[in-house]
Amino acid sequence: MPATRDYWPLVMENLKQRITPAHYKTWFSRLHFVDVDSQGRKLILSIPSTFNRNYIESKFKQPLREAVSKYYPQVVHIDFEIQKNEEIEEIKQEQDQLNLDSNPSDQPISHPSDAPLANVTSSEDKTPHYLPKKSLNNLNPRYTFDNYVIGKYNELVANVAKGVIQSPGSLYNPLFIYSSVGLGKTHLIQALGHKMLENRPNFNIKYIPAETFKQQYIAAVQKNEYAKFREYYGQIDLLLIDDIQSMAGNEGTQTVFFHIFNELHQANKQIIITSDKHPKDLYGIDERLTSRFEGGMVIDVPKPDLEDRMAIVKAKIAASDLNLSDILVHRIATVIDTNVRDIEGVLNQIQARTRLLPDREFTLLELEQILTKRSEIVTIPVSGQSSSPNTILQATARVYGIQIADLLGSKRSKDIAEARQLSMWLIKSMLDYSYPSIGKILGGRDHSTVMHGVSKIEGKVSVDEKMKEKVRLIQVAIGAV
Ligand code: ADP
Ligand code: MG
Q: Please, are residues 243 and 434 in contact by the beta-carbon 8 Å criterion?
A: yes
- State the pLDDT confidence band at 300, using cuts at 50, 70 and 90: very high
User: Which residues, other chains included, contact 427 with Cβ-Cβ below 8 Å and sequence gap of 6+?
Assistant: 389, 392, 433, 438, 441
Whole-number Å distance, alpha carbon 464 to ligand 2 midpoint, is 30
The mean pLDDT of 359-382, rounded to a whole number, is 74
Q: Please, are residues 396 and 474 in contact by the beta-carbon 8 Å criterion?
A: yes
Judge if the beta carbon of residue 313 lies within 6 A of ligand 1: no
What are residue 259's phi and psi, to 5 degrees?
-70, -40
Architecture in CATH for domain 389-480: Orthogonal Bundle (1.10)
Pairing mode of beta strands 175-178, 270-275: parallel
Q: What is the pLDDT of residue 472?
A: 78
Residue 452 has pLDDT above 80, yes or no: yes
Residue 261 has pLDDT above 60, yes or no: yes
- State the pLDDT confidence band at 88, using cuts at 50, 70 and 90: low
Q: Please, are residues 151 and 307 in contact by the beta-carbon 8 Å criterion?
A: yes
Atom of ligand 1 nearest to the CA of 315: 25
Residue 107 has pLDDT above 80, yes or no: no
Judge if the beta carbon of residue 181 lies within 6 A of ligand 1: yes
Digit-coded pLDDT (tens) for 164-217: 999 999 999 999 999 999 999 999 999 999 999 999 999 999 999 999 999 999
- In this structure, the number of other CB atoms found within 10 A of the CB of residue 103 comes to 9
Mutation test of ligand 1: which of 114, 144, 179, 183 has the most ligand atoms closer than 8 Å to its C-beta?
183
| Nearest ligand by distance to the CA of 183 | 1
d(C-alpha 54, C-alpha 267), whole Å? 11
Whole-number Å distance, alpha carbon 270 to ligand 2 midpoint, is 19
| Nearest ligand by distance to the CA of 190 | 1
Q: What is the pLDDT of residue 138?
A: 92
45-80: b (≥16 Cβ within 10 Å) or e? bbbbbebbbebbeeebeebbeebbeebbeebeebeb
**Listed ranges 31-45, 302-316, 375-389; the one with the highest mean pLDDT:** 302-316
Distances (CA, A) of 443 to 211, 393, 424, 446: 20, 12, 12, 10
Helix or strand or coil: residue 80?
A: strand
Q: What is the pLDDT of residue 374?
A: 73
Atom 16 of ligand 1, residue of closest alpha carbon? 187
Query: Which residue pairs from 18-27 have beta carbons closer than 8 angstroms and sit at least 24 positions apart in sequence?
Result: 18/63, 18/66, 18/67, 19/60, 19/63, 22/287, 22/291, 22/294, 22/295, 23/60, 23/291, 25/287, 25/288, 25/291, 26/288, 26/291, 26/292, 27/52, 27/55, 27/56, 27/59, 27/60
Question: Measured between alpha carbons, how far apart are the two ends of the chain, in Å?
Answer: 64
Q: What is the pLDDT of residue 24?
A: 84
Residue 268 has pLDDT above 90, yes or no: yes
| Average pLDDT along the chain | 85
Question: Hey, which residues does 275 pair with through a beta bridge?
Answer: 178
Whole-number Å distance, alpha carbon 128 to ligand 1 midpoint, is 31
| Nearest ligand by distance to the CA of 209 | 2
- In this structure, the number of other CB atoms found within 10 A of the CB of residue 98 comes to 21
HSE, CB side, 13 Å, CA atoms: give it for residue 288.
17
Q: What is the pLDDT of residue 128?
A: 83
Question: Hey, which residues does 177 pair with through a beta bridge?
Answer: 274, 299
The mean pLDDT of 443-454, rounded to a whole number, is 91
Residue among 20, 39, 38, 40 nearest 28 (CA): 20
Judge if the beta carbon of residue 350 lies within 6 A of ligand 1: no
Whole-number Å distance, alpha carbon 111 to ligand 2 midpoint, is 11
Pick the more confident residue, 118 or 416.
416
Helix or strand or coil: residue 57?
A: helix
Residue 100 has pLDDT above 70, yes or no: no
Judge if the beta carbon of residue 53 lies within 6 A of ligand 1: no
What is 136-300's CATH topology?
Rossmann fold (3.40.50)
Whole-number Å distance, alpha carbon 179 to ligand 1 midpoint, is 11
Residue among 277, 276, 273, 281 nearest 297 (CA): 273
Atom 14 of ligand 1, residue of closest alpha carbon? 341
Q: What is the pLDDT of residue 81?
A: 82
Ranking 58-62, 120-124, 359-363, 412-416 by mean pLDDT, the lowest is 120-124
d(C-alpha 116, C-alpha 206), whole Å? 12
Q: What is the pLDDT of residue 275?
A: 96
Digit-coded pLDDT (tens) for 141-153: 999 999 999 999 9
Atom of ligand 1 nearest to the CA of 150: 23
Whole-number Å distance, alpha carbon 186 to ligand 2 midpoint, is 4
Pick the more confident residue, 455 or 116.
455
Pick the more confident residue, 146 or 460.
146
Where are the domains positioned within the chain? 3-84, 136-300, 306-378, 389-480
Pick the more confident residue, 91 or 170.
170
d(C-alpha 325, C-alpha 119), whole Å? 45
Count of residues for the chain? 481
CATH code for the part of the protein at 3-84: 3.30.300.180
pTM of the model: 0.61
d(C-alpha 459, C-alpha 417), whole Å? 16
Q: What is the pLDDT of residue 84?
A: 59
User: Which residues, other chains included, contact 125 with Cβ-Cβ below 8 Å and sequence gap of 6+?
Assistant: 133, 134, 135
The mean pLDDT of 370-381, rounded to a whole number, is 62
d(C-alpha 143, C-alpha 158), whole Å? 14
Distances (CA, A) of 432 to 41, 421, 424: 58, 15, 10
Question: Hey, which residues does 300 pair with through a beta bridge?
Answer: 178
**Listed ranges 69-83, 87-101, 123-137, 333-347; the one with the highest mean pLDDT:** 333-347
Judge if the beta carbon of residue 46 lies within 6 A of ligand 1: no
Q: What is the pLDDT of residue 118?
A: 38
Judge if the beta carbon of residue 314 lies within 6 A of ligand 1: no
Helix or strand or coil: residue 297?
A: strand
Residue 271 has pLDDT above 90, yes or no: yes
- State the pLDDT confidence band at 430, using cuts at 50, 70 and 90: confident
Residue 378 has pLDDT above 50, yes or no: no
Atom of ligand 1 nearest to the CA of 274: 2
Judge if the beta carbon of residue 118 lies within 6 A of ligand 1: no
Whole-number Å distance, alpha carbon 184 to ligand 1 midpoint, is 3
Q: What is the pLDDT of residue 111?
A: 34
Judge if the beta carbon of residue 473 lies within 6 A of ligand 1: no
What is 306-378's CATH topology?
Helicase, Ruva Protein; domain 3 (1.10.8)
